[in-house]
Structure 1
Amino acid sequence: MELHIFLAVLVAALLHASWNLLVKLDLDRFLALLLISCVMVVMGAVMLSVFPWPKAESYPYIIASGLLHTGYNIFLARSYRTGDLSQVYPIARGTAPLLTFIGAWVLAGEAVTGFGALGILLLVAGIWLTARPGSRSIRLDGLTLFFALGTSGFIAAYTLVDGLGARLSGSASAYAGMLFVLDGVFMIMAALIMRGPKVFAQVLPSWKSGVTAALFSGAAYWIVIWAMSLAPIAAVAALRETSILFVMLMSAYFLKEKVTGLRLLGAVLIVIGAVALRLA
């Protein structure tokens, strides 16, 4: 992976970690995701006014990705309703890069070097160790586990779709802009069906936090889409999950959270995996 792409994806990971840590929304997970999606509609519209529109060949990918993102939002919100962050997050985020790696290899015919594969596996192992909730055992009911694994499936699916679609679009930035618009529209439709018109009154008081979260989240995924148009999809997908390492470091520094030996080992594996991807 070229250095400028490698560094850009690390910036995306830092942005993702930052909004997750710093932005506190006084909403349930579904409403928070809805608010972010609404703001990103505006962000996407601005992007489409600046960049040339993507080629028509990429439109089916954008539509598919918008639907997959909506499924991801619904499954993630449902996972957190009965499962803790420390339980759901490592399953969803830690499993997705491995699924993406397999999908890019089997479905997209994307070749990954042995060194690159080693880096991805080290990153996945490090993510799981770093996201462990200390000494507390992870116990999930079957339905929560289903939705958590389903979330990882949606992440892997929309990652593959966006990687391939961005390459066909002629403009990764325009692709991202159109995706943000469709993602928001689909999420609004899902919210109206699931919770009715009153849902907008519930999110309105938190609009300032929603703007901050959307800008950070949108910028992070914009970078990732651009990177996937130029570098192996599986490598970018794995590298972006270094956000978990940034969350751990920020939590330890700002929130004074305890870092266990296993989490330190996970951090070391993430760093080694990232270096292996850079050298692959």
Structure 2
Amino acid sequence: MSIWAIGLVVISAFLHAGWNILGKSNQSSGPAFFLATSGAAATLLTPYLIWYLATIGFDALPATFWQLLLVSGICQMIYLVGLAYAYKQADIGVIYPMARALPVLMVGLGTALLGYELKAQQWLGFVVITVGCLFVPLARFSELRLKAYLNLGVLWALVAAIGTTGYSIVDKEALLYLNQTASDVLDDQYSAVFYLGSQFWAMFFPMVIWIYLSGNSQEFGNAAAIIKPSALAGVMMATTYGLVLFAMTMTDNVSLVVALRQISIIFGLLMGIYILKEQWYRTRAVGVLCIAVGLILSLT
């Protein structure tokens, strides 16, 4: 990865931890918070989407791109719903590392199946990151056994991780289609912003359908009641993933971007302690150390 790509992902990771703190502080609203957040970000970026399509041609993009965008949006919805319910069950110091670190091995495996090459040292780094993830939810090392992870919070974190894995792989492939179509007219960075805005609409509409079909229509009213913090979080989400998409245009293997994003776990833990007054344990210190070592291994 280039130094510019690394810098973009690190800034993105800090902002990602920040909007998760906002999500945790509004956990009583559940999916409503993320409904309002994705809707606010999509609305703000809509004028840009119209300009982009007018520039390259409204019928220029292939059907495959729109299909990948839809799949990505559904995966994003799975991630946000899983995160919302996970935060109702446990501390951000438990859920955030689980949801962020578990996709490292998943995305590594997925990209390997797609033909991208990974060195043995990078696989080792991915494993060390995941081991660190296992330590973070524990209060004592003696709790390191299977039943410590058999709870609803970790289950929903796993659901969120599956969503993250899906959209991380799909987004890289969708960007390739997008850049191949528009590169003669606009630079790849313009396409990354377009994809970002399109993705927010692609996650917003499935979220609306899911809330309606699940019989939780009151969430629409809850979303309207918390529109101000949600709008702020939406701007942070858009900035966060926009930087990641820029980094993807500079990097061939998306699994390296996903691995580096896990530095947000360290940011999230520190914010949870200082802002939400959550507890700090030696197990979490060891987990953070493992994550840091794993990042160094996977990126060198």
**Match among 104, 113, 120 for residue 119 of structure 2:** 113
Paired letter, 2:11: V
1:132 aligns with 2:137: yes
Aligned to 1:27, the other structure's residue is in SS state helix
CA distance in 1, matches of 2:261, 2:22: 18
Cα distance, 1:256–1:151 mapped onto 2, change above 3 Å? closer
**Alignment check: 8 A CA contact 1:38 1:188 kept:** no
**Match among 219, 223, 228 for residue 203 of structure 1:** 223
**Match among 265, 274, 288 for residue 244 of structure 1:** 265
CA distance in 2, matches of 1:15, 1:142: 28
**Alignment check: 8 A CA contact 1:6 1:278 kept:** no
CA displacement at 1:165 relative to structure 2: 1.1
- What is the CA deviation profile of residues 180-234 of structure 1, one whole-angstrom value per residue up to 9, with x for unaligned ones? 1121122122222324654322222211100111111121112222222332111
- What is the CA deviation profile of residues 18-44 of structure 1, one whole-angstrom value per residue up to 9, with x for unaligned ones? 122256326332121111122122133
CA displacement at 1:160 relative to structure 2: 0.6
Aligned to 1:134, the other structure's residue is in SS state coil
Which residue is 1:16 aligned to? 16
CA displacement at 1:69 relative to structure 2: 1.8
Percent same amino acid at aligned positions? 23
**Alignment check: 8 A CA contact 2:138 2:284 kept:** no
Paired letter, 2:29: D
CA distance in 1, matches of 2:11, 2:127: 21
Which residue is 1:97 aligned to? 104
Name the Cα RMSD after superposition. 2.8
CA distance in 1, matches of 2:139, 2:96: 14
More moved, 46-55 vs 157-166: 46-55
Which residue is 2:297 aligned to? 276
TM-score normalised according to structure 2 size: 0.80
**Match among 221, 228, 239 for residue 248 of structure 2:** 228
TM-score normalised according to structure 1 size: 0.85
Paired letter, 2:130: V
More moved, 164-173 vs 196-205: 196-205
CA displacement at 1:143 relative to structure 2: 6.5
Paired letter, 1:215: V
**Alignment check: 8 A CA contact 1:36 1:213 kept:** yes
CA displacement at 1:140 relative to structure 2: 5.3
Find runs of 4+ consecutive structure 1 residues off by over 6 angstroms: none
**Alignment check: 8 A CA contact 1:104 1:234 kept:** yes
- What is the CA deviation profile of residues 227-273 of structure 1, one whole-angstrom value per residue up to 9, with x for unaligned ones? 22332111111111211101223344455655333322222232233
The total of aligned residue pairs comes to 277
**Alignment check: 8 A CA contact 1:122 1:273 kept:** yes
Cα distance, 1:214–1:139 mapped onto 2, change above 3 Å? same
